[in-house]
Amino acid sequence: MLFTALALTLASLVAATPVDNLAPRAPGHTYTALIHPKARQDLCIKTASKYYGGSEALVIGPCAKSLSIPPRFIFTDGKTRVRVEGYNYCLQAGVENGHYTYSGDGTIAWLGICPPEGTDATGFEWNFANGRLEQINTNTGKGRPNQCLDNTDGANYGIQMWTCYEGNMNQQWVADEYRAGA
């Protein structure tokens, strides 16, 4: 009886312990992870519907399985594409029907078909560093530099691009490999 109570207490403490995978890792570490706002571990990036597909808007919603199951994303530290595990869909912003459009404050982030390796990936390339996902498009002249993935207003709101600001908690993300089962 005492052992059972102790085991349950330990399990609840482990479940309540924040999982912060922003600790230093080897350069180029590959994540297979849920992505959630650093300040809200109960919320994850997911699609607004139960489907993964072209032009699926991304929102912040409960990490628990519901109509929309949060996808596990595969990406690396540094320059990366953020791909949905098991699908050919990638995180993108500023791309519409395969053509690059403006990517600035308020641009919505969504899932789109990943461009083939070795082709123009403008709008699909990111830099994951220090808990931020910053879009890489500064050399194209097609978008604004210094744009980060931004949690608009919390649960059930879209994910947008916004000017990167140091210390902005709306732009701090955790690659949660623990709950993703990686």
Which structural domains are found in the chain, ordered by start?
A: 31-180 (2.80.10.50)
Helix (H) / strand (E) containing 7: helix 2-16
pLDDT at 65 over 50: yes
Residue given tokens 């996808």 in the structure block: 71
According to the model, what pLDDT value does residue 56 have?
79
Specify the pLDDT at position 35: 94
8 A C-beta contact, residue 46 and residue 61: yes
**Residue, of 139 and 6, whose pLDDT is higher:** 139
Instruction: Say which residue the tokens 């220090």 belong to.
Output: 130
* Of 110, 138, 118, nearest in space to 48 by CA: 110
What are 78-125's pLDDT values in tens digits?
Answer: 889 999 999 999 998 876 655 556 678 888 888 888 988 887 777 888
What region does 181 belong to: left with phi over 0, alpha with psi -120 to 50, or beta?
left
Instruction: Let me know: does 109 contact 133? Beta carbons within 8 Å.
Output: no
Q: What pLDDT was estimated at residue 10?
A: 36
| CA dist list (Å): 113 to 55, 82, 109 | 9, 11, 13
Q: What is the pLDDT of residues 19-41, one digit of tens each?
A: 344 455 666 789 999 999 998 88
What is the distance, to the nearest Å, from the Cα of residue 40 to the centroid of all Cα atoms in its chain? 13
Q: Which stretch, 113-117, 153-157, 161-165, has highest mean pLDDT?
A: 161-165
Separate counts of helices (H) and strands (E) for the chain: 2, 15
